[in-house]
Structures are given as C-alpha cells and as structure tokens.
Amino acid sequence: MKPSRRLSVTAIFLGFGLAFLYLPLAVVIVYSFNASKLVTVWAGFSGRWYAELLADRQILDAAANSLIVAVVSASLAAILGTAAGYAFARFGQFPGRATLAGAVAAPLVLPDVIAGLSLLLLFVALGQAFSWMPERGLFTVIIAHAGLTTAYVAVIVQARLAGMARDIEEAAADLGAKPFTVFRTITLPMIRPAVAAGWLMAFVLSLDDLVIASFVSGPQATTLPMVVFSSIRLGVSPKINALAALLILLSLVLLATSAWIGRGALKRASLRP
C-alpha cells in the first residue's frame, strides 16, 4: 500500500496551485510600495502612490458610488434571496417551482455580458414606457446587481435551512404561532449567520462587477471597477498597484468576517442538543 506516495504528488500540485494563485497578488502588493514610477524597476520603499491615490477625486468618487451600490443592492438581495431560499427549502412542491428555481439561480453561471445587455434593454424599454422611471445611473446598477446577487444569497440560505431541523419551528406552529411569527422569532434568528454571509458575498460581487455596471449605468454614475478598467487599458501604473493592494486587503477583511460569522454559526449549532 503506497498511498503516501500518491499523496505527495497531489501535495506538489496543491503547493504549485496555491503559489500560482498567490504570487501575482504578492507581486502587485510589493510593487505598490515601489518608489519608482517605472513599475518594474525597484527604487526603494515608498508610500507615495497611496498618498496620490487618496488625493485622486475621480477614484474617490467612483469608490463612493461603488460603496452605495454595493450596500443597497446587497441589502435588497439579502431580503429577496432569503425569501427565495426559504420558499425553496420550506414550501415543498408548488406549481412552477423548477422554473422559478431556474430563474433565481441562472445568474450563478450565466456570463455577465448576457445579464448586462438584457437588463440594459429592459431599463431602456421601461424608460420609454413610463415617464416617471429615473434616468439610468446608480439606481439601475443597484437593481441589476441585486438581480445577480439574489441567487447567491438564496443558495446560501437554502443550504442552511436544508441542514436545519424543523422541530422548533413545528413546535411553535403547534403552539399556535402564526407562520410569519414563526419565521420572525424562530427561523430568522437561526439563519441569521447565513443571511449575513450571503449579504457579504453579494456586497463583494457588487463591488467587483465591471461588465453589468458598464452596460446599465448612466453617464454620471461611474463605479470603481469602471475607472480601474479604463486605466488598466492604458497600461500598468503604480497608483493602480496601490489601489489593487487596498482591494486585496479589503477582500482579506471581508473573508475573515465571513469566516468568523460562519464559525459562530457552527458553534451555536453544535451547542444545540
């Protein structure tokens, strides 16, 4: 029996794969502290690109837009995704279930260009049909992002509900609690970590989206990825290195938060008899 030898081959692949995933990010972070304007020539440690970045109005405005869009669309997605996850986990069979499930989950895999173009055509058509529709801008990006990220929240919430015993919910219902009361006082507190994790994931995806936002946004509403994309097209710049390093740091913080929420949920689950 020689499983240890095969294990070492896979371990080499794992090491190579992780190095492949992380080396490019490490290079970006290191060079963001490079004093030289020539991105690949090392000329000593410096924080000047961070200072320049924080003085760049265009980038700061775009970052503010992105934050607004991400917070509002993630909150919308958390509500709709929780409703969808609850419906699929607790409503059993209902007419049209497979169609609805497919429509909710489709954004998990569909390419962004499809979602971007089709939602833009929708907003244009709605704008023609109803004069009260707001101009394309942050509002349309929020709706589009919520449409994308609801799927992720639904999957996370549904998985949590599927792994959760129904006995407490059923006991409350037997004691005469109305369905909404059961949901609010029993189900919701138990799935709160899943909803929070879903919100975080929706927030990250919204903050990261370039393609859909480019299609549905208006001329005034530029998001951070749109600014980053147009400057990347012009080439590598130390300022973008600094921004990239900050975004990598942000993703670390958000993943740590998400893992921490998940851990709390696990602990609570294991405390239950």
Partner 1 sequence: MIARGTSAGSGRRLVLAALWLWTAIVFFLPFALVLKISFAEAQLSVPPYSALFERVDGVVVGLKATLANYGLLATDALYFKAYVGSLGIALIATTITLILGYPMAYAIARAPSPRREVLLILVMLPFWTSFLVRIYAWIGLLRPSGVINTALQAMGLIDAPLVLLNTQGAVYLGIVYAYLPFMVLPLYARLEKLDPALLEAAADLGAKPWRTFLSVTLPLSHPGILAGCLLVFIPAVGEFVIPELLGGPDTLMIGKVLWNEFFSNRDWPMSAAATVVLLATLIAPVMLFQSLRMRAEARP
Residue ranges in 165-224 that form contacts with partner 1 under rule CB under 8 A: 173, 178-180, 204, 207-208, 210-211, 214-215
Footprint (CB under 8 A) of partner 1, residues 127-146: 128, 143-144, 146
Contacts 24+ apart (CB under 8 A), 31-37: 31/238, 31/241, 32/238, 32/241, 32/242, 32/244, 32/245, 34/238, 34/241, 36/238, 37/238
d(CA 160, CA 125): 38
Which stretches within 91-187 are classed as H helix? 97-105, 112-129, 138-162, 167-174, 179-182
Q: Does 272 bind partner 1 (CB under 8 A)?
A: no
User: Which one among 87, 133, 168, 269 touches partner 1, defined by CB under 8 A?
Assistant: 87
Footprint (CB under 8 A) of partner 1, residues 237-256: 240-241, 244, 247-248, 251-252, 254-255
Q: Does 267 bind partner 1 (CB under 8 A)?
A: no
Instruction: Determine the 3-state secondary structure of 163 from DSSP.
Output: coil
Amino acid identity for residue 179 in this structure: P
Report the alpha-carbon angle 63-127-215, nearest 5: 40
d(CA 213, CA 222): 8
**Residue 31 CB, nearest distance to partner 1 (Å)?**
7
Q: Does 2 bind partner 1 (CB under 8 A)?
A: yes
Residue with Cβ nearer partner 1 (96 or 273): 96
Instruction: Determine the 3-state secondary structure of 12 from DSSP.
Output: helix
d(CA 61, CA 75): 21
Stretch touching partner 1 by CB under 8 A, among 43-51, 53-61, 106-114, 132-140: 106-114
Footprint (CB under 8 A) of partner 1, residues 35-74: 38-40
Q: Does 75 bind partner 1 (CB under 8 A)?
A: no
Q: Does 10 bind partner 1 (CB under 8 A)?
A: yes
Residue with Cβ nearer partner 1 (188 or 232): 232
**Residue 28 CB, nearest distance to partner 1 (Å)?**
5
Footprint (CB under 8 A) of partner 1, residues 11-40: 11, 13-14, 16-18, 20-22, 24-25, 27-28, 31, 38-40
Q: Does 265 bind partner 1 (CB under 8 A)?
A: no
Tokens of 107: 């954004």
Residue with Cβ nearer partner 1 (154 or 190): 154
**Residue 10 CB, nearest distance to partner 1 (Å)?**
4
d(CA 238, CA 47): 11
